[in-house]
């Protein structure tokens, strides 16, 4: 699935990529002058340039023409199990207000993709504005479209039980989707719909600042990771998610893919695998595992 596009009304720095990609053997930056490659290959600047070139080349091959960047300076990967200081009440209120403004001023009025024509209402997501853990699905279903609340149908009820098994409540976490409008017939979101709505998700994550993201199901996991790897191979392993859109800019957030609750309702034999994924999340957050 294609990486995110950036609506013009949203203020982000964008690197415009060339219209075609040079052969891989030359890379995006061309070949170094004769005799300089050995001197450059071990320098930090060269390594960073090479990594950026590889990332941009992959984006070009995927058809991307603009890459959102962030001016935030990377500060290293978060350590497993590290618990930050409690978020002050004033900061929680500020984040809640920022989420409210994003929802009311941008998401609820959005008409940037065709999904707005068939929605009953947008489904922004809900939960703790300073949550350590965020669950992300692919899009709202019929129940969510009718009530404007994420994950409230049968799959949502199972997700609630999964969260409670972790020793948490829905008020402790934040639950949302990549697209904020229901795709007709509960189909998977189209690439254009994802690329249009993705910046809203990134803004949510920038405001909430979670320590861990759980991607629910194949569409959400493959989209967030820009991957076509089957969910059965993605789940159970930690991945990095960059809100900046680039693996060379900003600090990554650890992401754990797992099965969607709707799939688990159809295939209850895989619930133990999903529980294994959530136990890894609990360990990462420093939460106590339930006694056997």
By the 8 A CB rule, do 110 and 123 touch? no
> Partners of 212 in the beta sheet?
133
122 vs 28, residue with greater confidence: 122
Lowest mean pLDDT among 4-8, 102-106, 270-274: 4-8
Strands 212-216 and 174-177: unpaired
DSSP 129: T
Tell me the Ramachandran region of residue 167: left when phi exceeds 0, alpha when psi lies from -120 to 50, beta otherwise.
left
Closest-CA residue to 234 (of 253, 220, 250): 220
Most confident option among 31-35, 54-58, 75-79: 54-58
Helices (H), the chain: 37-40, 44-61, 89-102, 142-147, 154-165, 191-208, 218-225, 231-234, 261-266, 271-285
What per-residue confidence (pLDDT) applies to 53?
54
Convert 66-95 into a string of H (helix), E (strand) and C (coil).
EEEECCCCCCCCCCCCCCCCCCCHHHHHHH
What pTM did the predictor assign? 0.73
Q: Determine how many CB atoms are found less than 10 A away from the CB of residue 188.
A: 18
Percentage of the chain modeled with pLDDT above 90: 65
**Helix, strand or coil, per DSSP, at residue 284:** helix
Average pLDDT, the chain: 80
Backbone angles phi, psi at 16, to 5 degrees: -85, 125
DSSP reduced 3-state for 133: strand
pLDDT in tens, 61-100: 444 444 444 333 333 334 444 456 789 999 999 999 999 9
R_g (Cα) of the chain, nearest Å: 20
Q: What SS3 class is residue 104? A: helix
Beta bridge partners of 16: 66
pLDDT tops 60 at residue 9: no
Tell me, letter by letter, the H, E, C secondary structure of 228-272: CCCHHHHCCCCEEECCCCCCCCCCCEEEEEECCHHHHHHCHHHHH
Choose among 110, 92, 65, 91: nearest CA to 201: 110
What is the distance between the alpha carbons of residues 83 and 128, in angstroms, rounded to a whole number? 16
Task: pLDDT band for 167, please (50, 70, 90 cuts).
Answer: very high
Report DSSP state, residue 112.
S
Fold observed for domain 90-285: Uracil-DNA Glycosylase, subunit E (3.40.470)
Which residues is 253 bridged to in the sheet?
241
Q: Quick one: pLDDT at residue 49? A: 53
Contact 261, 158 (CB under 8 A): yes
């Amino acid at each position: 699935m294609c990486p995110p596009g950036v609506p013009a009304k949203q203020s982000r720095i964008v690197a415009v990529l060339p219209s075609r990609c040079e052969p891989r053997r030359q890379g995006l930056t061309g070949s170094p002058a004769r005799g300089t490659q050995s001197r450059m290959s071990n320098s930090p600047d060269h390594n960073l340039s090479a990594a950026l070139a590889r990332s941009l080349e992959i984006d070009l091959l995927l058809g991307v023409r603009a890459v959102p960047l962030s001016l935030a300076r990377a500060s290293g990967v978060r350590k497993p199990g590290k618990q930050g200081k409690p978020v002050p009440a004033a900061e929680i209120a500020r984040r809640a207000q920022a989420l409210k403004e994003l929802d009311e001023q941008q998401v609820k009025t959005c008409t940037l993709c065709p999904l707005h024509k068939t929605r009953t209402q947008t489904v922004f997501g809900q939960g703790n504005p300073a949550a350590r853990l965020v669950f992300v699905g692919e899009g709202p279903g019929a129940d969510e479209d009718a009530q404007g609340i994420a994950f409230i149908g049968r799959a949502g009820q199972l997700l609630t039980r999964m969260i409670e098994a972790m020793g948490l409540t829905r008020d402790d976490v934040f639950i949302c989707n990549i697209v904020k409008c229901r795709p007709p017939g509960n189909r998977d979101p189209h690439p254009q719909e994802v690329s249009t709505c993705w910046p809203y998700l990134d803004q949510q994550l920038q405001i909430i600042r979670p320590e861990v993201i759980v991607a629910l199901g194949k569409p959400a996991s493959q989209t967030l990771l820009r991957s076509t790897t089957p969910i059965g191979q993605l789940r159970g392993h930690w991945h990095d998610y960059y809100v900046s859109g680039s693996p060379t800019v900003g600090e990554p957030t650890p992401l754990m893919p797992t099965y969607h609750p709707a799939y688990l309702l159809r295939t209850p034999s895989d619930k133990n695998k999903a529980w294994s994924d959530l136990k890894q999340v609990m360990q990462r957050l420093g939460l106590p595992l339930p006694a056997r």
